[in-house]
């Protein structure tokens, strides 16, 4: 079974709702603690976690999705599949200087799950990513930013990739 590396969001944590649900499904989950960190050190910590678990499924939630995308140039070859959950790609902070530079390599299979009622990260942010990376599959849900209603489907998706 492939390990799952989770990059939690700004308000997330290693024992948060999403990592806990994935663990409850019997998955091996590695979720580095990135609480209180700005983007650059998050990216460094995420790169280290993925390199320690090559062949992993990388799950990035919100700000963790931004960190995942910022880390991809260094780790894409170590990631089996990328899953982004309402990724905050519209946020610009070093090392990301423009949303348009965030592209999923065609060699990396990827899914995005995003709530159409998200009032934190507009659904259009994920639509723009898919426009830049047309091989990425976008799943729109009737959820808000936390994706609480979509969580069982997210767990099912990630479990199918390990």
pLDDT tens digits, 18-65 = 999 999 999 999 999 999 999 999 999 999 999 999 999 999 999 999
- pLDDT tens digits for range 83-109: 999 999 999 898 988 877 899 999 999
Q: What is the CATH number of domain 6-161?
A: 3.40.50.1820
Place of tokens 């649900």: 21
Cα end-to-end distance, the chain, whole Å: 6
Edge-to-edge strand ranges of the sheet holding 29-30: 29-30, 4-7, 56-61, 79-85, 110-115, 137-141
Rounded to an integer, what distance in angstroms lies between the CA atom of residue 66 and that of residue 60? 7
Q: What are phi and psi of 31, to 5 degrees?
A: -130, 95
Neighbours of 68 (CB within 10 A): 31
Its pTM surpasses 0.95 = yes
Closest by Cα among 10, 7, 4, 20 to 148: 20
Place of tokens 């070859």: 77
Please state the domain extents for the chain: 6-161
Secondary structure of residue 13 in the 3-state scheme:
coil
For residues 104-124, average pLDDT: 97
Rounded to an integer, what distance in angstroms lies between the CA atom of residue 142 and that of residue 81? 24
Residue pair 26/161 in contact (Cβ under 8 Å)? The answer is: no
Q: Specify the pairing of strand 4-7 against strand 79-85.
A: unpaired
């Amino acid at each position: 079974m492939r390990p799952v590396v989770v990059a939690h969001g700004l308000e997330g944590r290693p024992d948060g709702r999403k990592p806990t649900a994935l663990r409850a499904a019997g998955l091996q989950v590695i979720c580095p603690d990135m609480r209180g960190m700005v983007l650059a050190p998050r990216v460094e910590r995420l790169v280290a976690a993925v390199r320690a678990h090559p062949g992993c499924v990388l799950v990035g939630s919100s700000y963790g999705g931004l960190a995942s995308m910022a880390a991809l140039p260094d780790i894409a070859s170590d990631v089996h599949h990328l899953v982004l959950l309402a990724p905050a790609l519209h946020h610009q902070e070093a090392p990301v200087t423009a949303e348009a530079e965030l592209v999923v390599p065609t060699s990396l299979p990827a899914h995005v799950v995003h709530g159409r009622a998200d009032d934190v990260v507009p659904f259009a942010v994920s639509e723009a990513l898919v426009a830049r990376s047309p091989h990425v599959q976008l799943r729109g849900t009737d959820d808000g930013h936390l994706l609480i209603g979509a969580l069982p489907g997210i767990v099912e998706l990630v479990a199918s990739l390990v």
